[in-house]
Amino acid sequence: MNAVGAHTMVIFGASGDLTSRKLIPALYRLHLRGRLPENTRIVGVARSKFDDEGWRKQLAETTAKFVGDEFSSESWIQFAAKVHYSPGDIKAAEDFQALRTRLEQLEGGANADRVYYVATMPQLYAEAAAQLGAAGLADDSHGARRIVIEKPFGTDLSTAQNLNSSIYRVWREDQVYRIDHYLGKETVQNMMVLRFGNTIFEPLWNRNYIDHVQITVAEEVIVGRRGDYYDKSGILRDMFQNHIFQLMMITAMEAPVKYDATSVRDEKVKVLRAVRKLQGSDFAECGVRAQYEGYRAEEGVDPASETETFAAMKLHIDNWRWKGVPFYLRSGKGMSCRTTQIVIEFHHPPHLLFSGQKSLPQANRLVIQIQPAEGIQMHFQSKVPDQEMQLRQSSLDFRFDSGGSLPDAYQRLLQDALEGDASLFARSDEVELAWQIIDPILAAWRSPAAPPMNSYQVGGWGPEAGSEWIQKDGRQWFDVCPVIHG
């Protein structure tokens, strides 16, 4: 193949919310920072009948709104010149032929790397992958061809497997980029640096020093206008199978031999393989499920809905590093604040040394806050000044973005897709293994043996039962709103 001098990103679902809210603002910011590869074009495809100018005009408004102060008309004019539109229906083969002609015209017959970003309704993912193949658009003899698939990737193991098989009829795994936007968050990547770019954490990062791990993704928002989607999905599909499991894998993985897509993902997958399979009564005891009060009255929600808006779950990772260290995972809508945090709780000091101490001092804790502000906090004991040997908990804070604002997750992911780095995208085995863990829990939680459905008030930390459940293990949730402030 001759040298590639051009890059084209084709966005299917160009008139959708994701495109205007996330994808175009991220591409515009990459342009502002001079990070778009040379000669990049963006081509939107949707059924709406825009021409180039019409789409640019609409995007100018939405981008100005979502980008805020960074937006300037001058740079928008430069950026908009890269933006084109080609009307088309995913179901119409002739529209893909028209797209092919348009792309060839725009690229002027030069070799070009292309990324096809499928941001349509999930029911159309397989069809988009197939139509691209049928129109010869996956042929990579004149430049790389990659396909980016938005989430959700299936709704259970069999739909995910079917989607993978449909994609493989046309595409090779190394061309497929499955999005989980949590992997594009800076602090998630920083976790790898924290763990593998330092020597002080690694010796402690195992069952000898760590008592347990908590991963909480709390959202203040409720279901609102997404009731129709949400009621069929629920928190296990919407947050656990993808985002929370990604956080768990990065917390628990071994150091990869190299920082590349294969090595990183090989290590992540091993974590999911080591997750202990639940059996029998485990399903009722492994977690707590709940709905916020008023959920069943939301628009689009079944008044008798059994869909969880909160779940907590305990998983064990049966390998040398983690044997006996439970991972408590939890997420909920309508919680007291928005915070995503990974709490590494170390063992208690073994012995009461200082006189006057009635109980063991609190254990050391490392709180890794993924959002809203990004950073880490280390909790440790220190002496109360000018008192006898009395102890108090102290903390060291590190704010990740001091000195500049952090990029949106999509910025990083789009840049990586354009450059051909798949490290921060989910591989097929990863997605399927995640469903293999979630499916039996979902099935059990829909059966007569399901644990009771609890309810909770919006604005707290979920149901009372969630706190009682972890207390039975002699532990407590770290129910603290952001510890690091932006």
> By the criterion CB under 6 A, which residues form the site for ligand BG6?
151, 219, 238
Q: CB of residue 340 vs ligand BG6: minimum separation in angstroms?
A: 6
Is the distance from CB of 179 to CB of 150 less than 8 angstroms?
A: yes
Give residue 150's identity as a one-letter amino acid code: E
Phi, psi torsion values for 175, nearest 5 degrees: -100, -5
Number of CB atoms found within 10 A of residue 469's CB: 21
329 in helix, strand or coil? strand
Identity of the residue, 88 or 482, whose beta carbon is nearer to ligand BG6 in the bound complex? 482
Q: How far apart are CB 181 and ligand BG6 at their closest, in Å?
A: 6
Q: For residue 410, give both structure tokens.
A: 């999509």
Ramachandran assignment for 34, one of left (phi > 0), alpha (psi -120 to 50 degrees), beta (any other): left
Element (H, E) at 213: strand 210-218
Q: How far is the CB of 231 from ligand BG6 (least distance, A)?
A: 12
Choice between 219 and 282, CB closer to ligand BG6: 219
**Between 238 and 430, whose beta carbon lies closer to ligand BG6?**
238
Given the residues 7, 31, 212, 243, the one annotated as active site: 243
Among 16, 68, 147, 167, residue whose Cα is nearest residue 408 = 68
Nearer to ligand BG6 among residue 219 and residue 401 (C-beta): 219
- Told to judge if 243 belongs to the known catalytic residues of this protein, a careful annotator would answer yes
Q: Which residue is nearest to ligand BG6 (CB)?
A: 238
Closest separation in Å from C-beta 21 to ligand BG6: 12
Angstrom distances, CA of residue 211 to CA of 196, 323, 403: 21, 11, 34
Task: Find out whether 332 and 223 touch, Cβ atoms under 8 Å.
Answer: no
Q: What phi, psi does 384 have (nearest 5°)?
A: -75, 125
In angstroms, give the least distance from the CB of 180 to ligand BG6: 8
The dihedrals phi and psi of 44, each to the nearest 5 degrees, come to -90, 140
- 151 or 195: whose CB is closer to ligand BG6? 151
Write out the two tokens for 278: 């639940």
Q: Outline where 169-244 has alpha helix (H).
A: 186-196, 227-235
Whole-angstrom distance, CA of residue 94 vs CA of residue 49? 16
CB of 188 to ligand BG6, least distance (A): 11
Residue nearer to ligand BG6 on the CB measure, 151 or 399:
151
Cβ atoms of 44 and 83 within 8 Å: the answer is: yes
Q: Which residues are catalytic?
A: 243
